[in-house]
Structures are given as structure tokens and as C-alpha cells.
Amino acid sequence: MPDAETRELLDWISREPRSYPEAIEIWQTHCPRHSVWEDALADGLVRVVRNGSVSQVALTPEGEAALSSAART
């Protein structure tokens, strides 16, 4: 089960379409103690979907499952 910050990121992505620049602006950090975005990417919970010049972020099936299991607890 993801930690609270990761659940917040997954929930944020699931609520409406999010652009990659928007996600990076809000979630990227260079502090190793607060690497929510980088950890979610590395854990396979989120992905970047490129369609021409537009990049969106989306939950992977694993991210959807993690968010769903977090909602049940």
C-alpha cells in the first residue's frame, strides 16, 4: 500500500487529465526525502503518455490498484 503522499499523487492524477509539465511543476523535487513523483515512476504507479507534442500523466494498472486498495482501508 502506498504512503499518504503517494496516495495523494495518485488521487490527484485520477481526478482529471493532467499534463506532464503540470505534474512536474507540482510534484517534482530534488530532495531525496520527498521524491514522491520519482518514486511513483520507479514503482510503476504512474506513466507519461506522449501524443505528439502533448504529454499527459496517467496511472498504470498498478497505480489504479494501489489507489483502489488504499481507498478500501
pLDDT value at residue 47: 96
Q: Residues 26-72: pLDDT tens digits?
A: 888 777 776 899 899 999 999 999 988 999 999 999 999 999 987 77
- Residues with Cβ within 8 Å of 9's Cβ and at least 6 positions away in sequence, in order, are 27, 36, 37, 40, 46
pTM score of the predicted model: 0.87
Spatial separation of the C-alpha atoms in residues 8 and 10, rounded to whole Å: 6
pLDDT value at residue 1: 72
